Structure 1
Amino acid sequence: MLEFLFAQYKGYETIDIVLEIIAVVFGLISVLCAKKNNIWVYPTGLISTIIYVYLLLKWGLIGDMLINGYYTIMSVYGWYMWTRKKEGAVEYPISWTTKKEGRIAAVIFSITILFVILVYHWFEKFNDWTAYVDTFTTGIFFVGMWLMAKRKIENWLFWIVGDAISVPLYFYKGFTFSSFQFIIFTFIAVLGYIEWKRNLQKAISL
């Protein structure tokens, strides 16, 4: 069983395996902070995404690297947004996505898909079925990260879909630790959606 799960790591440098594990740990801490609506989601997430940018670039996984590069930028943006206050209150509390924001999300998804297609064609990466799945999940994750920065409940729905798809995808690519991470991410995303929805309902009833 262990051979089946971890055989792909035989050719990896020890430092890369250690870095992946560190990235996984901080990624899990980040998602748990997000579930609790805690601003530490961003600094802990930055550690994880920066490590993944390095590793994925080294491994030639351009699509995954783009996702984590975007995460890094959006973590800085989200960190700023979550600290903003208006008249002493949080300017962007937990809320549902408006119709206007829904349209913006659709535009982000479409532009992301187009961008990834162009990048993959440029680097000639459309040589495996995973590239097509990567294109879709990149769009999903880009929207999810943007909605999280806005503290929109629907961000969790995008994480649930993207994380669930990433479980077998990362295992197939040879990253077992990351695949396990996405299994946990999926469960946390479900709990995060429930908890944020409950918190909003409490805030409305006050």
Structure 2
Amino acid sequence: MNPIFNFFFEQYARYETHHIVLEIIAVLFGLLSVVFSKQNNILVYPTGMISTAIFVYLLVIWGLLGDMMINVYYFIMSVYGWYIWTRKVDKEHTTPISKTTLKEHKISAIIFFSTIVFVFVVYQVFDKWTSWTAYVDTVTTAIFFVGMWLMAKRKVENWLYWIIGDVISVPLYFYKGFTFTSLQYLIFTFIAIFGYAAWKKSLNKNLQT
């Protein structure tokens, strides 16, 4: 058991105890947020905001600039998404789940490539091109930025971006030494798959009625 435990958790010996506790709390709220998202529940946003706020604090301490920017963006988009999800499209209905339009696909592409350029510039300024993980961070940041925007717009395709980003993030965070966060993304992957199926089922049901 000891070698296995050390393989997964020995890096935490270097961390402050309260940082480990905060990471676990952030992971738990992150999992709650994704579960609520799968259920198309507005609680996705307050739980997500707690998780991202804690991660912003931790990532600043750990010096992970790209990951920190992702979580700052998540927090801002959570505020926007909370508004969109509660906005009435008429007297009785809030913004429904829908498919991404051609215009929104174009906007998604603009967000993706703009994010890559932005992160590249920031990494250049702060001299963060110190590992191959920085290049992967650039891509995953762009993927997650698009996914978060589409989720705020309540578009079913948001889950496809989350699935791709989560799959990449599992080994990435483990390599960086954040086992709990890596496990979080592993669970996220499965929830995202079920979330896509649930939202698609709900969309088809709405179209039929």
Q: TM-score range by the shorter chain?
A: over 0.9
Name the SS of the counterpart of 1:101 in structure 2: helix
TM-superposed deviation, 1:116 = 0.1
TM-superposed deviation, 1:91 = 4.2
Is 1:199 matched up with 2:192? no
Name the SS of the counterpart of 1:148 in structure 2: helix
Is 1:162 matched up with 2:162? no
- The equivalent residue for 1:133 is 136
Is 1:189 matched up with 2:203? no
How many aligned residue pairs are there?
A: 206
TM-superposed deviation, 1:31 = 0.1
Greater than 4 Å deviation, 4+ residue runs:
none
Name the SS of the counterpart of 2:197 in structure 1: helix
C-alpha distance in structure 1 between counterparts of 2:172 and 2:155, whole Å: 27
C-alpha distance in structure 2 between counterparts of 1:57 and 1:184, whole Å: 24
TM-superposed deviation, 1:88 = 2.0
TM-superposed deviation, 1:127 = 1.3
Is 1:81 matched up with 2:84? yes
Contact 1:97 1:152 in 2 (8 A): yes
- Give the root-mean-square deviation of aligned CA atoms: 0.6
Contact 1:33 1:40 in 2 (8 A): yes
C-alpha distance in structure 1 between counterparts of 2:44 and 2:150, whole Å: 14
- The equivalent residue for 2:49 is 46
Q: Given the two structures, how large is their TM-score scaled by the length of structure 1?
A: 0.99
C-alpha distance in structure 2 between counterparts of 1:204 and 1:174, whole Å: 45
Name the SS of the counterpart of 1:86 in structure 2: coil
C-alpha distance in structure 2 between counterparts of 1:191 and 1:200, whole Å: 14
Which residue identity is paired with 1:36?
A: Q
TM-superposed deviation, 1:90 = 3.2
C-alpha distance in structure 1 between counterparts of 2:13 and 2:21, whole Å: 13
Name the SS of the counterpart of 1:90 in structure 2: coil
- The equivalent residue for 2:38 is 35
C-alpha distance in structure 2 between counterparts of 1:134 and 1:202, whole Å: 37
C-alpha distance in structure 1 between counterparts of 2:188 and 2:43, whole Å: 17
Q: Given the two structures, how large is their TM-score scaled by the length of structure 2?
A: 0.97
Which residue identity is paired with 1:192?
A: G
Structure 2 residue runs without a partner (length 5+):
none
Is 1:152 matched up with 2:121? no
Is 1:142 matched up with 2:145? yes
- The equivalent residue for 2:7 is 4
Contact 1:26 1:47 in 2 (8 A): yes
C-alpha distance in structure 2 between counterparts of 1:86 and 1:174, whole Å: 45
Contact 1:94 1:153 in 2 (8 A): yes
Name the SS of the counterpart of 2:117 in structure 1: helix
C-alpha distance in structure 2 between counterparts of 1:98 and 1:68, whole Å: 26
